[in-house]
Amino acid sequence: MKTKKCNGYESMFTFLSEEAFNEHLKECEECRLEHEKMQRVSELIQEAKPYIQKTKKRKTALKAACAAFAVISMSACFQFFAVTGLYDEIAYANSPTIEEMGLPVDEYGFLLVD
């Protein structure tokens, strides 16, 4: 049962000093029950903390492995293109010109539009 001076667990926990709050818990049954619930929640959080930290470490390691794989794959692809000459084909765009395709062009090599 709440006493007249009790404004609820949250306000008492927030605004009272630790000593005054402990004194209030001795007097107020409702706040004492709420405090016990909060202590259980705190214990559960402390119990889960190592698991959460281990999960974060695994995620960080997985991200680092993915980044390393991407770098190695990109460098291997670049080496393949450089050795086989495909890079030159892509870089210099050795594709047929408009004139070689049989389209009409002007004296500058641009597509002729009538």
Whole-number mean pLDDT of the chain? 85
**For residue 104, is it within any domain?**
no
- Find the DSSP H helices in the chain: 9-15, 18-27, 29-84, 86-91
Is 96 inside a domain boundary? no
In a domain, 60, yes or no: yes
The pLDDT score that the predictor gives to residue 94 is 67
pTM as predicted: 0.45
Amino acid identity, position 49: K
Q: What is the pLDDT of residues 46-71, one digit of tens each?
A: 999 999 999 999 999 999 999 999 99
Domain count, the chain: 1
Residue 2 has pLDDT above 70, yes or no: no
Q: State yes or no: pLDDT of 84 exceeds 70.
A: yes
Q: What are phi and psi of 99, to 5 degrees?
A: -65, -40
Residue 100, in any domain of the structure = no
Which residue segment(s) compose the domain that 43 sits in? 9-91
Residue 39: CB atoms within 10 Å:
10
CA 34 to each of CA 4, 11, 94: distance values in angstroms, whole numbers, following the listed order: 18, 12, 77
Measured CA to CA, the distance from residue 47 to residue 10 in angstroms comes to 24
Residue 109 lies in a domain: no
